[in-house]
Chain A
Amino acid sequence: AQKVTQAQTEISVVEKEDVTLDCVYETRDTTYYLFWYKQPPSGELVFLIRRNSFDEQNEISGRYSWNFQKSTSSFNFTITASQVVDSAVYFCALSETNFGNEKLTFGTGTRLTIIP
């Protein structure tokens, strides 16, 4: 069975600080996909990134960066120079190819608060 663990329930940082959100996953599949979603107070889940299990390159998109390490089954997310608009709940998710229609397993989420 697949599992996603986000050990950090809540994080608060002062604006402009860097912050890293941790994600550890478990799967028996060799081909799988990892995702990060952001959920602001409005409720919508906003897709941030998808990474497949064969691509371990780190990715940077503006102030966001992701560190994927298969050796430790981790897919961590770093926000550089945080802003108040980054305040939200962030979910890491895993999907395996054998489930067909992208059945996502979500972590429990990390609530990030950026203090002005």
Chain B
Amino acid sequence: DTEVTQTPKHLVMGMTNKKSLKCEQHMGHRAMYWYKQKAKKPPELMFVYSYEKLSINESVPSRFSPECPNSSLLNLHLHALQPEDSALYLCASSQDKETTAWGNQPQHFGDGTRLSIL
């Protein structure tokens, strides 16, 4: 079992639907991430939150809307997605490097949500 929990594990939605992906961690981490991973490709960074504030947006289309209600939760709101958005969406968390003794801390990933757009 991972310490980063993602729900749902699978999601099928139409292009006009609105849905949300959820991610939760209870490791006291202050940085949280969304990645998109297509089949046989490495994960691609989408968003980074640090101390509940958006710090990195990798030019992601506005049909993806992240939200960080508190330091343990991270949501990804989906609206009007396209078939090419079908992928595995991974959430990760890590200690912000400013809070650690030194060094970039490893990211801990959830199992992901497999999203299919019809």
Contacts and interface: CB of A to CB of B under 8 A. Distances in A.
Bound together: yes
Contacts of B105: 50, 102
B103 A103 contact: no
B103 A104 contact: no
B104 interface: yes
B43 interface: yes
Contacts of A91: 42-43
Nearest to A10: B40
Interface in A83-109: 91, 95, 97, 100-104, 106-109
Interface residues of A, number: 23
Contacts of B111: 42-44
Interface in B19-57: 31, 33, 40-43, 45, 48, 50, 55-56
B36 to A, nearest CB: 12
A8 interface: no
Contact of B50 (A33, A47, A97, A100): A100
Contacts, number: 67
Nearest to A47: B106
Contacts of B104: 33, 50, 95, 97, 102
B96 interface: yes
Interface string B80-114: 00000000101010101100000111111111101
A52 interface: yes
Contact of A45 (B31, B97, B103, B109): B109
Contacts of B107: 47, 102, 104
Contacts of A44: 2, 109-112
A102 B35 CA distance: 13
Interface of A: 33, 35, 37, 42-47, 50, 52, 91, 95, 97, 100-104, 106-109
Interface of B: 2, 31, 33, 40-43, 45, 48, 50, 55-56, 88, 90, 92, 94, 96-97, 103-112, 114
Given A102-B94, A104-B45, 7 more contacts: A43-B88, A47-B106, A52-B103, A95-B104, A103-B56, A109-B40, A109-B42
